[in-house]
A = this chain, B = another copy of it.
Amino acid sequence: MTPAQSQLVETVQQRFGPKVATTEAEAIAPWLTDWRGRYHGEAPALLSPGSTNEVAAIVALAAAAGVPLVPQGGNTGMVGGATPPTDGSALLLSLRRMNRIRALSPVSNLAVAEAGVILADLRTAAEVAGRRFPLDLGARGSATIGGLVSTNAGGTQVLRFGTMRSLVAGVEAVLPDGSIHNGVAALKKDNRGYDLNQLLIGAEGTLGIVTAATLRLVPGAAARAVGWVGLESPAAALQLLRMLEAGTSAVESFEILPEKTLALVLRHVPGTRRPLATAHPWHVLIEAVATDPTAEAPAALLERLLGPALERELAGDAVIAASEAQAEDFWRIRHSISEAERAGGPALQHDISVPVDDMPRFMIEGGAEAEARFPGTEAVAYGHLGDGNVHFHVRAPAGVDPQVWYAEDGPGISRHVHDMVVAAGGSISAEHGIGQMKRAELERLSAPSRMTVLRAIKTALDPHNILNPGKLVALAPDAARP
């Protein structure tokens, strides 16, 4: 620990009590590695403020002492964005103690949640009030609101309600100079200059530390229906989605997967079973939700809309879950893909998006191109077709040593996938962010003028590089430290 770091820890303990700063290795250890175990860093202390004012005081002290801070919520990120640097130069700043839902109004359909509120808890609180917070993802039991705002999280409910950005009505954050940005008032219209709330959403804690957010709630679900459709191709799936969208706004999820992924799940995840008796090269899981109890029941709606698709042979076969238990079984397949993929052997994962209309082509041609270019690999794409966002995995050839393959072939394969994405006008990070994982690729694939702008924004707001240094965008080496 440097003298500046020691001094900071001591001052924090004196002012706010011993539990707000700890240097105990055991307490710190769980937070030094990302949950996938791909990134590991060092930090001599863990700061755990309990209020916005405490965060502000800590950031002001850190700025004055030139000690960088790495903000962290549930530590469920996918790109190493919350893992401290390896040299121990930064302190960890956990927002987990700030876990109050300050307000939740079913009348104004807004909730104000502190950064450390866990997604599942917010969803439950909304349900108790007869509303929903319509963002969902696998890490719901650990992921926190602050992290979800800071990474503009996506998930399986984006189709109808958008990503985190469209659900955030206000942001409270501590800026790099220790001042508090109070943007939680949730004004529906506010044109007072550059929108700092929007700038902080998705900034990965590099421009400010999100301490609370005002979040939009949507009507509670009166009824839902979950369907499973077998079909010929991603192109047919997108046509089906467009047909559904023309007839209803009730479709909240539309997830695509190829037969080989379904087969992998059935093989590796006990208790899963094939939803349809017939064989199909592609599958789609559809969820429709009615929020108005007087509206057509979602099951009847899906049946009415899927009928013509079956007649026109856009869909090969379809089934609508007859019970909640069966609906859960269908979702279980979708949610088990990661687990099955891990059991299936080494694979490189890419979180990519292209314009929705181009995604069917990309899934087929991109997959074929990757497999041809890297003999023995198998490319698999599945996920949020309606968002133009799939998880594009490239599996290792049979028999390779995983570590050797990751190290020697991995970077070239990922670069190739990203090149294809950029050629299609897409994004190399659809929903996971940049963190440390994709920083070099962002640099390689962005116009230099764009990188100049990103760096200029970072330098303008955080001139001493105090907040989450080295994430998202690297400053020039000589500008990296005060």
A residues at B contact (CB < 8 Å): 105, 107-108, 151-152, 154, 158, 163, 165-166, 175, 177, 179, 181, 185-196, 198-199, 201-203, 207, 242, 247-249, 291-292, 353-357, 384, 387-389, 425-434, 442, 446-447, 449-450, 452-454, 456-461, 472-473
The answer to whether A158 touches B188, judged by C-beta atoms less than 8 angstroms apart, is yes
A-B pairs with beta carbons under 8 Å apart, 19 shown? A107-B242, A181-B449, A187-B355, A187-B430, A189-B353, A189-B389, A189-B431, A190-B427, A190-B429, A191-B434, A192-B442, A193-B473, A194-B202, A195-B198, A195-B201, A198-B198, A199-B457, A457-B457, A460-B460
The answer to whether A355 touches B185, judged by C-beta atoms less than 8 angstroms apart, is yes
The answer to whether B194 touches A203, judged by C-beta atoms less than 8 angstroms apart, is yes
The answer to whether B388 touches A189, judged by C-beta atoms less than 8 angstroms apart, is yes
The answer to whether B196 touches A202, judged by C-beta atoms less than 8 angstroms apart, is no
Chain B min CB distance to A163 (Å): 6
The distance in angstroms between the C-alpha atoms of A188 and B358, with both chains bound, is 12
Chain B min CB distance to A24 (Å): 34
The distance in angstroms between the C-alpha atoms of A461 and B456, with both chains bound, is 7
Q: Which residue of B lies closest to A455 (CB)?
A: B460
Chain B min CB distance to A224 (Å): 17
Given the interface pairs A107-B357, A177-B449, A450-B181, the reply to whether A154 lies near B195 with Cβ below 8 Å is: no
Besides A193-B454, A249-B291, 5 more A-B contacts (Cβ < 8 Å) are: A151-B191, A185-B425, A187-B427, A187-B430, A195-B198
Q: Hey, which chain B residues are within 8 Å of A425, CB to CB?
A: 185, 187
Q: Hey, which chain B residues are within 8 Å of A442, CB to CB?
A: 192-193
Chain B min CB distance to A177 (Å): 6
The distance in angstroms between the C-alpha atoms of A461 and B199, with both chains bound, is 14
The answer to whether A188 touches B389, judged by C-beta atoms less than 8 angstroms apart, is yes
Q: Hey, which chain B residues are within 8 Å of A459, CB to CB?
A: 460
The distance in angstroms between the C-alpha atoms of A27 and B13, with both chains bound, is 68
The answer to whether B357 touches A192, judged by C-beta atoms less than 8 angstroms apart, is no
Chain B min CB distance to A79 (Å): 9
SS class, residues of chain A in contact with chain B: loop
Q: Hey, which chain B residues are within 8 Å of A454, CB to CB?
A: 193-194
Name the residue in A188, A195, A427 with the highest tally of chain B Cβ atoms < 10 Å from its Cβ: A188
The answer to whether B387 touches A426, judged by C-beta atoms less than 8 angstroms apart, is no
The answer to whether A192 touches B428, judged by C-beta atoms less than 8 angstroms apart, is yes
The answer to whether B202 touches A199, judged by C-beta atoms less than 8 angstroms apart, is no
The answer to whether B449 touches A456, judged by C-beta atoms less than 8 angstroms apart, is no
The answer to whether A356 touches B108, judged by C-beta atoms less than 8 angstroms apart, is yes
Q: Hey, which chain B residues are within 8 Å of A177, CB to CB?
A: 449, 452
The distance in angstroms between the C-alpha atoms of A357 and B109, with both chains bound, is 11
Name the residue in A175, A355, A472 with the highest tally of chain B Cβ atoms < 10 Å from its Cβ: A355
The answer to whether B460 touches A187, judged by C-beta atoms less than 8 angstroms apart, is no
The answer to whether B434 touches A193, judged by C-beta atoms less than 8 angstroms apart, is yes
The answer to whether A188 touches B453, judged by C-beta atoms less than 8 angstroms apart, is no
The answer to whether B192 touches A434, judged by C-beta atoms less than 8 angstroms apart, is yes
The answer to whether A189 touches B450, judged by C-beta atoms less than 8 angstroms apart, is no
The answer to whether B189 touches A292, judged by C-beta atoms less than 8 angstroms apart, is no
Name the residue in A163, A384, A456 with the highest tally of chain B Cβ atoms < 10 Å from its Cβ: A456
Q: Which residue of B lies closest to A208 (CB)?
A: B453
Name the residue in A105, A175, A191, A389 with the highest tally of chain B Cβ atoms < 10 Å from its Cβ: A191
The distance in angstroms between the C-alpha atoms of A107 and B358, with both chains bound, is 13
Name the residue in A177, A199, A242 with the highest tally of chain B Cβ atoms < 10 Å from its Cβ: A199
Q: Hey, which chain B residues are within 8 Å of A158, CB to CB?
A: 188-189
The distance in angstroms between the C-alpha atoms of A265 and B459, with both chains bound, is 53
The answer to whether B449 touches A460, judged by C-beta atoms less than 8 angstroms apart, is no
The distance in angstroms between the C-alpha atoms of A300 and B156, with both chains bound, is 35
The answer to whether A192 touches B457, judged by C-beta atoms less than 8 angstroms apart, is no
Chain B min CB distance to A305 (Å): 11
The distance in angstroms between the C-alpha atoms of A234 and B20, with both chains bound, is 47
Given the interface pairs A177-B449, A461-B457, the reply to whether A207 lies near B194 with Cβ below 8 Å is: yes
Chain B min CB distance to A148 (Å): 12
Given the interface pairs A187-B430, A188-B388, the reply to whether A450 lies near B196 with Cβ below 8 Å is: yes
The distance in angstroms between the C-alpha atoms of A450 and B449, with both chains bound, is 26
The distance in angstroms between the C-alpha atoms of A238 and B357, with both chains bound, is 41
Q: Pick from B189, B428, B453, B456: contact of A387, CB below 8 A.
A: B189
Q: Which residue of B lies closest to A164 (CB)?
A: B191
